[in-house]
Amino acid sequence: METPLAPAIIVPQAKDDFFEGENGLVAVFDYDYEEIIDFNVKLKWAQFACIPPMWLSFLCCVPCFIHKNVEWDTRSRHIAITVDGIKFVHNRRKFLCGLSCSDRGKESKTVPFDKITDCDVQEPAGTACCCFIPRTLHQVHVDTASSGQKDDNGVLRHELAIEGLKEPHEFKKLVWQMKRHQMSFGAAAPVTQSPKQFEMGNVADSKCPELLTEIRDELKKLNSLMGAKYGATASKAA
């Protein structure tokens, strides 16, 4: 019995071209950079005002660069789904006062579909930093068998915590769809490309009518040849 093919998933159009040209790319998802920057700048200033030890950062002119540090860190984040899994990249970015000597290096991580045990969306709710800042960002938590432990502060660790995606629910759906296809067929689901983005589907579906037509034509040729050969042989024998 054949495994039923999953319905196609339309992936939202992405503006991020960081992964353009990468092999095995399935879909790119945009971060809501402006919303992330707005929330985290407010959070940093609130933390600076409420936590006296942070006042020492005046010695390094850090408050003058709070907005820039948040922006540098935020705009260097990129995420995509490939045939291998979820790929997250935190690109090289400036830090502190923006001097090259304080730059932070590129970091990347791929979480394979067969290792994923959970992928869920946490809706924004409540406030942060002493109830001053309303939470506005969705979070996508991706877990594997090795994650799910709590750190020293009692916070649950995730294999990947993605904050501020524009389309978090579509991201979650595509992750589970890719995982199901991999489990069903032993490999990631084939995809067809749309402009700058991809639709998930089965390439075999689009080629099936063409393939059947070719098989039919070949069978017709074979029947004609067989008929001509054995028909002639039968006439001679008679």
Rounded Cα gap, residues 141 and 161, in angstroms: 5
Amino acid at 169: H
pTM score, two decimals? Answer: 0.72
**What average pLDDT score do residues 70-91 get?**
96
Structure tokens belonging to residue 41:
């700048």
Tokens 């990468």: give the residue.
Answer: 22
Burial class (CB in 10 A: 0-12, 13-18, 19+), 129: middle
Classify 196 in phi/psi space as left (phi over 0), alpha (psi -120 to 50) or beta: left
Task: Assess whether pLDDT exceeds 60 at residue 86.
Answer: yes
CB atoms within 10 A of CB 116: 22
Task: Assess whether pLDDT exceeds 70 at residue 231.
Answer: no
Phi, psi (degrees; rounded to nearest 5) at 77: -95, 135
3-class DSSP state of 145:
coil
Rounded Cα gap, residues 99 and 97, in angstroms: 6
Percent of the chain surpassing pLDDT 70: 71
Task: Assess whether pLDDT exceeds 70 at residue 126.
Answer: yes
| 77-82 β-sheet, strand order | 25-29, 77-82, 85-90, 107-112
Q: Which of 59-63, 74-78, 130-134 shows the lowest per-residue confidence on average (mean pLDDT)? A: 59-63
Q: Which residues pair with 100 in a beta bridge?
A: none
> Given the DSSP bridges, would you call strands 116-122 and 9-10 parallel, antiparallel or unpaired?
unpaired
Rounded Cα gap, residues 175 and 151, in angstroms: 26
3-class DSSP state of 192:
strand
Rounded Cα gap, residues 202 and 199, in angstroms: 10
Residue pair 195/15 in contact (Cβ under 8 Å)? The answer is: no
What letter would DSSP give residue 5? P
Rounded Cα gap, residues 140 and 86, in angstroms: 12
Rounded Cα gap, residues 175 and 23, in angstroms: 18
Confidence of residue 155 (pLDDT cuts 50, 70, 90): confident
Please state the three-class secondary structure of 197-215 as a single string: EEEECCHHHHHHHHHHHHH
Rounded Cα gap, residues 147 and 133, in angstroms: 29
